[in-house]
Amino acid sequence: TTPPTLNRHQSEVTVDRPKTPSPRRDPPPRPQSVGRKYVLLHQDPLPTAATWIGQKPNDTLTWNGAELPFCYSPEFDYPDVLAYRDQHVCMPSFNIIGTLKGGTSSMYTYMQNHPAVYSPFKKELCWFRFVRIPGSDVADPDMLRRRLPLIPRANEHGITGLGCPFYLADYGVSELVKEIFPRLRLIVMLRNPIDRLYSMFNMRVRYTDDGFTGREKFEDFVRCQRGSHGNVMCTSDHEGTRDFIYESMYVLHFRRWIRDFPLSPQWIIIDSAEFYADEEQTMRKVFAHLGLPPFDFPNGSFRPINADPQKAHHIMDPKLRGLLDEFYAPYSEQLYDLLDYDFGWHDTDRLNARRFPFNELFHEDGTPSNATYTLRDDPSIEDARFYRPPAFGVRPKAKKPKPRN
Ligand SMILES: Nc1ncnc2c1ncn2[C@@H]1O[C@H](COP(=O)(O)OS(=O)(=O)O)[C@@H](OP(=O)(O)O)[C@H]1O
């Protein structure tokens, strides 16, 4: 067939194709459940799910003696919105949807080392975050397909995938993913919620964006991230600046996501601590689960990406850490129940001896309740100075460069 002509200003491209049976009208049967709830990478043996990756071509291609998975083709089962350029766009097979500061950039980078993984334009193609902004040029559905790797027809063995760790905590993304990429592998890296929060804060201070000046103290930030007048944790109403504290309440995000994607081997859930401790072993398992042949990483491949260069720029007060431990423990425990796995993030013996009614802060569906809890109960935090970030989108003015003499 002649390749379709592409007009960038057209939103739909008509393609003349011979009348062959359409996989969209007559989709291949879904694989049966493999009997496990989901894939947590400590499980051994891993459930095999390689058949989910793509349609098998008639001719197989092997690499290092193993058969390679097949790049998703728009002809396979994707909606028209992505079906152009005929078979030449490789659709994502996986997306690292969370969690921010969980080691996602390293995971993404290490995955790109595999010869059968095609690299898209960049990691954070967060298409579903922007698709709903009316009147914005980023709402263009061409945005995603223009940035996906183009695969020559003869070389469609291999997969591609994206990394948008914002998605886990975003509202409304799971519905869109279900609509557009119903079989996307959802990779989530879960890090100790306090370390994640601290890492997130440090990055913002380092980059002085999102309204940060670079002089914020972690205590002030935690005390009132959203300027909620001294109420501890200042939980989000999901507007404006991202709520980093809320982002670490993983169970709330999972509850939303599993409405559209029940726990199944479509999920790959990774304990970041285990990944940091042995990157190679984790990568081996991720590749195996994606149906990719094993890959021997060259020496020196596991340099941490996005590491905070000045870890000690502001030391976390141990009392504050204790308070955050108390705050997050109930959410983490619910996560352990949901995933049937204890990440061991909190000092549970100490916490069992002292409990705050944090659950009252949220309704079952994760929306904040009117209940408040004040830090005044904690004698370690008395001189409250409230940090109030400016509204989202307001950036400090760029400094004018000094004129040279
Ligand atoms: N291999 C390895 N070993 C140990 N630690 C590692 C590794 N890879 C990433 N990291 C740490 O993960 C943090 C960055 O996470 P992300 O890449 O997900 O950040 S981002 O959301 O993409 O900005 C960042 O944490 P902090 O240094 O605490 O900020 C990285 O140091």
In this structure, which residue's CA is closest to atom 3 in ligand 1? 276
Which pLDDT score, from 0 to 100, does residue 70 have? Answer: 57
Give residue 215 CA to ligand 1 midpoint distance, Å: 22
305 Cα–ligand 1 center, Å: 6
Q: What is the C-alpha to C-alpha distance for residues 145 and 13, in angstroms, rounded to an integer?
A: 13
Q: Give 105 Cα–ligand 1 centroid separation in angstroms.
A: 7
> Who's near 193: CB < 8 A, 6+ residues apart?
248, 249, 250, 324, 328, 331, 332, 345
List the residue whose alpha carbon is closest to atom 31 of ligand 1. Answer: 307
- Residue with the smallest CA separation from ligand 1 atom 8 is 304
Question: Which of these, 175, 162, 164, 92, lies nearest to 132 by C-alpha position?
Answer: 175
Q: Report residues of the chain scoring pLDDT below 50.
A: 1-19, 21-59, 74-87, 131-141, 152-154, 226-241, 354-359, 372-396
Q: How far is the CA of 106 from the centre of ligand 1 (A)?
A: 7
Residue nearest to atom 9 of ligand 1 (CA): 103
- The yes/no answer to whether this complex scores an ipTM above 0.90 is yes
Q: Which atom of ligand 1 is nearest to the CA of 106?
A: 8
What residue owns the CA closest to ligand 1's atom 12? 103
- Measure 191 CA to ligand 1 centroid, in angstroms: 10
CATH class, range 39-192+251-289: alpha beta
Distance, CA 328 to ligand 1 centroid (Å)? 20
Q: How many CB atoms lie within 10 A of CB 384?
A: 14
Which of 107, 192, 199 to probe ligand 1 with, by most ligand atoms within 8 A of CB? 199
Instruction: Measure the CA–CA gap between 369 and 363, rounded to whole angstroms.
Output: 6
Residue corresponding to tokens 């401790």: 277
Which runs of consecutive H residues, i.e. helices, occur in 57-102?
74-77
At 389 the pLDDT is: 32
Cα gap 327→351, rounded to integer Å: 10
Q: How far apart are CA 367 and CA 300, in angstroms?
A: 44
Distance of CA 372 from the midpoint of ligand 1 (Å): 32
Determine the atom of ligand 1 nearest the C-alpha atom of 100: 21
CA nearest to 233, candidates 224, 243, 242: 224
Nearest-CA residue for ligand 1 atom 7 is 304
> Which amino acid residue places its CA nearest to atom 19 of ligand 1?
101
CA of 307 to the centre of ligand 1 (A): 5
pLDDT one-digit tens code per residue, 118-144:
777 677 777 776 544 444 433 344 555
pLDDT value, residue 118? 78
In angstroms, what is the span from residue 103 Cα to ligand 1's centroid?
4
Determine the pLDDT at residue 123.
74
Residue with CA closest to ligand 1 atom 22: 105
**Looking up tokens 């205590």, which residue turns up?**
219
Q: Which token pair is 253?
A: 């995000």
Mutation to probe ligand 1, out of 106, 123, 162, 274 (largest number of atoms < 8 A from CB): 106
Q: What are the residue ranges spanned by the domains of the chain?
A: 39-192+251-289, 194-249+310-377
Pocket of ligand 1 from Cβ distances under 6 Å: 100-106, 165, 199, 202, 276, 279, 302, 304-308
Cis preceding-peptide flag for 45 (omega within 30 of 0)? yes
**What's the confidence (pLDDT) of residue 280?**
94
Integer-rounded Cα radius of gyration of the chain: 23
Q: What's the full length of the chain, in residues?
A: 405
Could you identify the atom of ligand 1 that is nearest to the CA of residue 124? 22
